[in-house]
Amino acid sequence: MPDIVVRPARLADGRELIYFDDEGSTLPAERAEDRRPGEQRPPTATMRQDLLTGDWVSIASARQNRAFLPPAEADPLAPQTASNPSEVPSEYDVVVFENRSPSFGPALADHADAAPEGLADLALPGVGRTRTSVGRCEVVCFDPRTEGSFADLWPNRVRTVVEAWAQRTAALSALPGVQQVFPFENRGEAIGVTLHHPHGQIYAYPYVTPRTSRLLEQIDRYDGDLFADLLAFEQAGERVVLATRHFTAFVPFAARWPVELHLLPNRHVPDLAALTDEERDELAEVALRLVRAVDALYDDPTPYIAAWHQAPVHSHRDSVRLNWQITSPRRGPDRLKYLAGSEAAMGAWIGDLVPEQTAERLRTALAKADAERPL
């Protein structure tokens, strides 16, 4: 493991905060304390079951109070100053902390008796069923700068972010009641981002998400190793964008989004925590190159969601392979794909662009990005 130092701390209201110091960081070991007045945590959200689908919907009204595109001097993810009592008390390289307004939170005493009792309990259908949204939501600040993006980081910093993802995946997977851990990044106002600060999030769910549940059903029906066969199929085709010793990136055969790029490890691993140090080193470079390629498709940055799909914590560890999916609704320089009738109402997707042509455009963009911003 590189010399990345992990420094746990607490915020004034008791929320956990963890500093991840870059290899070779010049930051001091001692960090400033959070001297803001301690506030009582908002009540943990409540989940309601959709009887038509069995899906659970978290009703998290406290999220209405979160910051919305504040100016740089009021950035809640920047290190605290006398004029900006932000969420992070001290200078940092990368920092992770519990979200102040989470969609999933701790089983506080006033709602502990309504916590989910496991997957069997959540699978039961019923009218008007509710459970406390027990889980965890964390914010991952990639950099202390108030502007920029993942693509603007340097490889050493991205390696620290990868280490934070992996270590938090392991820690959150060990929490009682957590069934799935999901690190992700939303980038761009077109995606709905409310903070310009370069950051991502990690959700720890008390259930297996609907998207993953469908994958598990497909795996159980499939005769063979689904991910191994998928990877072999894509490696033999014309949609590969980047191939390295440990990873393969490609535009999927049945891409839904105008820009859709998947990354698979070349060996089976269920989640980020299972990657070796060598794989994490390579992933830092590969991830940075791919995000820069997506940005190089057009003359200005491309909005996207970068999502880490990981195996559930307690099942299918040998059959669900870690995979990273970058998707963007941008279908042209000044055009976005909106989910309307067929996609939004019925879940029946219609692709706007030919995946093979998108792969060619991404290969060209990757070459351009590598030439303009070599690692």
Residues marked active site are found at 199
**What are the strands, taking DSSP E only, across the chain?**
5-10, 16-21, 46-49, 56-59, 94-98, 130-132, 136-141, 180-187, 199-205, 240-243, 247-250, 259-265, 304-309, 323-328, 330-332, 335-336
Q: Using DSSP bridges, classify how beta strands 240-243 and 180-187 pair: parallel, antiparallel or unpaired.
A: unpaired
Can you read off the two tokens belonging to residue 31? Answer: 């960090």
Can you read off the two tokens belonging to residue 346? Answer: 């019925």
How many Cβ atoms from other residues are within 10 Å of residue 176's Cβ?
8
| Cβ(172)–Cβ(204) below 8 Å | yes
Q: What torsion, rounded to 10 degrees, do the Cα atoms 156, 162, 163, 169 define?
A: 170
Helix or strand run (H / E) with residue 211: helix 210-221
| Cβ(336)–Cβ(232) below 8 Å | no
The 3-state DSSP class for residue 196 equals coil
Give exposure, 266-287, as e/b (b: 16+ Cβ within 10 Å): bebbbbbbbbeeebbbbbbbbb
Terminal CA-to-CA distance of the chain, rounded, Å?
Answer: 20
Q: What is the DSSP string of 296-308?
A: TTSSSPPPEEEEE
How many Cβ atoms from other residues are within 10 Å of residue 42's Cβ?
16
CA 32, CA 90: separation in Å to the nearest integer?
A: 5
Strand partners, 336: 330
